[in-house]
Structure 1
Amino acid sequence: MSDLLGVAVLGTGHMGADHIRRLENVVSGAKVVAVADPDADRAEHALAGIAGASTHTEAEAALDAPGVQAVLIASPGPAHEEALLAAFARGLPVLCEKPMVPGSAGALRVVEAEARLGRRLAQIGFMRRYDAEYRQLKAVLDEGRLGRPLMLHCVHRNVSSPPDFTSAMLIDSSVAHEIDAARWLLGQELTAVTVLRPRSSDRAPEGLLDPQFVLFETDGGALVDVEVFVNCGFGYQVRCEAVCEAGSARIGEGHGMLVTSAGAAREEVAQDYLVRFADAYDREVQAWVDATRQGRVTGPGAWDGYAASVVAEAGVRAQESGARVTVDLAPRPALYE
């Protein structure tokens, strides 16, 4: 492997462009050598000022470009399965943004394909595992000084939802992060989900059921609740409180500057996930580059992506039916034990 890991970035939208910037200006040990996007102008714009990288409108053309040693997938979710399988066929390590694959059937095909290879190539972009506060909370829970975790209370709020955002996407796009975070923090699988809905906010676009309250059960007897509100109007907020037998621990408070003036105090609230989790994204991609250069995968893998897709799919069924829906995972391949 050369001194710098040559990366092909698939997708140059909001997330992909930010990863290109990160690989070029923040992360050490890597360089962007190819990008792919159906919008050629957008791809060219994302590469502005980066010499030597090629642009393509087809993902496989970028994978076959000279110098490509690894792949970062930041294209829309429905394109992920084909891109992952193409990367596997070429033996290329992958960092794939969530969702790994939107549907559980496709996600299972990815798991089975990687299991047939007999080695892990995919890391899935659940970047909260790299956030300093989440890692601190994980350490507190793992060391056990607060006793057995009983509940996780989670909040996930966005200023506004993007165009064409659907009620199902509150679960399979937004809450997908809490699904993985809960599995990781607790070391337990989610076994059932119930979705409750208050009256929708007047800020919600017509037809969007927002906010929602999602309740998960785990195989360790814990409960996880998530308030998801994607049109709260005032800022981007992610919080999590673990309630244990001998105490509690809470993260997600006070990330903005506190301004005191004229007898009042005002705290700035982040407006975007790329602001709130900037450091987590940096840590995630750096860890991926470092591990890839050593021939390893150390982050959340294809099984975690599959589990999140299955739970999210059950959550959408619960949302639509109003009933409690159980989560049924396929047998875990030995590769992920």
Structure 2
Amino acid sequence: MTLKLGVIGIGAIGKDHIKRIHHKLSRASIVAVSDVNREQTDAFLSQECISAMYFENGIDLIQSKDVDAILVTSWGPTHEEFVLAAVEAGKFVFCEKPLAVTAEGCRQIVDAEIKAGKRLVQVGFMRRFDRGYRQLRNVISEQEMGLPLILNCAHRAPAAPGFFGDMAISDSLVHEFDVLRWLLQDDYVSAQVIQPRGTRLCDEGLQDPHVILLRTRDGILINIESFVNCQYGYDIQCNIICESGTVSLPEPSSLQRRHNARLSTEIIVDWQERFVDAFDVELQEWIDATLAGEMNGPSAWDGYVVAVTADVCLKAKHSGAIEAIDIPEKPTFYQ
């Protein structure tokens, strides 16, 4: 059986997902697309030798009887409307982050899904599908080094063109907020944001870097360095200190060179290259689960919790205080 997919939003990530589904993955085909720019969309589909129906708006695509499931890769503020429409239509939907641009919007999706009585929504937190992060989770689960006590993490990017205001937290760190609570199977209870001396190498009005301190219900302390204009490369770090040992996220595979009296390895500069395998695994697992009538990945509830966490971190940044993170009890529906 082949899953007939409709894609809403044919920007950079939408194009990447379409190409991987069409050329690399199995058991799914792109049968419909919707984007505000038809000319560019038609040119892209022709280039990739893909024949798909074009819809002027995403709602019509969602309601089409020829579409089994939906990928939402459009502009963030449109996600809530399209995901709610997919849930109302009873169709499985994969939504790139953010699930919605506000915690209230995410909660509306949670409530709509619970009312529908079936899990239909998966959020595109791809780090859960990265081999290194899955290895870390296995080590924590097995407790061979005892309980985790402290996490030291870094989220560094060479440059953040177009970033302004609080986007370093609201747009980038959401992946950290999701994958760390998934690793620990624990929720956050407080946040503090410290603003060190800012780099001169970023757009005016953007604070960079940040240091975020999170504490979990079990008392684990998490330190995240966010530096989105580090210049040298895309560098994701996670070091976990346990009771009787430490474990770190493995470095991406890279050739080691001995040349001109130097020993060196290359550093990835593109986030898509860093997580290309994770994207492949993420979408293939989603396709397989959808065909089986299941939903096993990051849920609408996870999207809501991340939005609440980001909101509190922004509050802590501007207040300078340690702010409480009040996450409601997870509904039985998502257990």
TM over 0.5, shorter chain:
yes
* Equivalent position amino acid for 1:7 in 2: L
Structure 2 residue ranges without an equivalent (≥5) = none
Kindly indicate whether the alpha-carbon contact (under 8 Å) linking 1:115 and 1:335 is maintained by their aligned counterparts in 2: yes
Match of 1:210 in 2: 208
Q: 1:320 to 1:252 in 2, by over 3 A?
A: farther
Moved more, 100-109 or 326-335: 326-335
Deviations 1:171-205 (A, max 9, x none): 12111011011111111001111111111111111
Structure-2 separation of matches of 1:116 and 1:332: 15
Structure-1 separation of matches of 2:203 and 2:253: 28
Match of 1:72 in 2: 71
Q: TM (normalized to structure 1)?
A: 0.96
* Equivalent position amino acid for 1:101 in 2: A
> C-alpha displacement at 1:41, in angstroms?
2.5
2:187 to 182, 189, 200: 189
Kindly indicate whether the alpha-carbon contact (under 8 Å) linking 1:73 and 1:80 is maintained by their aligned counterparts in 2: yes
Map residues 147-226 of structure 1 onto 2, 5 A cutoff: 147-163=146-162, 165-226=163-224
1:260 to 258, 261, 264: 258
Match of 1:23 in 2: 21
Structure-1 separation of matches of 2:110 and 2:205: 35
1:113 corresponds to 2:128: no
Deviations 1:253-306 (A, max 9, x none): 253322220110221111111100000000000000000000000111111110
Structure-1 separation of matches of 2:316 and 2:39: 41
Structure 1 residue ranges without an equivalent (≥5) = none
Secondary structure of residue in 2 paired with 1:47:
helix
Match of 2:96 in 1: 97
> C-alpha displacement at 1:325, in angstroms?
1.3
1:51 corresponds to 2:54: no
Match of 2:328 in 1: 330
Match of 1:284 in 2: 282
Secondary structure of residue in 2 paired with 1:308:
helix
Secondary structure of residue in 1 paired with 2:219:
coil
* Equivalent position amino acid for 1:246 in 2: S
Kindly indicate whether the alpha-carbon contact (under 8 Å) linking 1:240 and 1:250 is maintained by their aligned counterparts in 2: yes
Kindly indicate whether the alpha-carbon contact (under 8 Å) linking 2:136 and 2:249 is maintained by their aligned counterparts in 1: yes
1:132 corresponds to 2:131: yes
Q: 1:322 to 1:280 in 2, by over 3 A?
A: same
Map residues 221-260 of structure 1 onto 2, 5 A cutoff: 221-260=219-258
Secondary structure of residue in 2 paired with 1:167:
coil
1:294 corresponds to 2:263: no
Match of 1:123 in 2: 122
Deviations 1:60-114 (A, max 9, x none): 1222345210011111221111010000111110111112112111111010000
Structure-2 separation of matches of 1:335 and 1:172: 27
Match of 1:269 in 2: 267
Q: 1:308 to 1:213 in 2, by over 3 A?
A: same
Structure-1 separation of matches of 2:39 and 2:303: 31
Secondary structure of residue in 1 paired with 2:166:
helix
> C-alpha displacement at 1:55, in angstroms?
2.1
Q: TM (normalized to structure 2)?
A: 0.96
Match of 1:316 in 2: 314
* Equivalent position amino acid for 2:141 in 1: D
Deviations 1:107-147 (A, max 9, x none): 11010000111110011111111100000000000001110
> C-alpha displacement at 1:51, in angstroms?
3.4
> C-alpha displacement at 1:225, in angstroms?
1.1
2:304 to 297, 303, 306: 306
Give the number of equivalent residue pairs.
334
* Equivalent position amino acid for 1:76 in 2: W
Kindly indicate whether the alpha-carbon contact (under 8 Å) linking 2:88 and 2:116 is maintained by their aligned counterparts in 1: no
Moved more, 253-262 or 276-285: 253-262
Q: 1:118 to 1:64 in 2, by over 3 A?
A: closer
Kindly indicate whether the alpha-carbon contact (under 8 Å) linking 1:158 and 1:236 is maintained by their aligned counterparts in 2: yes
* Equivalent position amino acid for 1:286 in 2: Q
1:41 corresponds to 2:39: yes
User: Sequence identity of aligned pairs in percent?
Assistant: 38
* Equivalent position amino acid for 1:282 in 2: D
Structure-2 separation of matches of 1:325 and 1:39: 43
Kindly indicate whether the alpha-carbon contact (under 8 Å) linking 2:252 and 2:274 is maintained by their aligned counterparts in 1: no
RMSD: 1.3
Kindly indicate whether the alpha-carbon contact (under 8 Å) linking 2:149 and 2:242 is maintained by their aligned counterparts in 1: yes
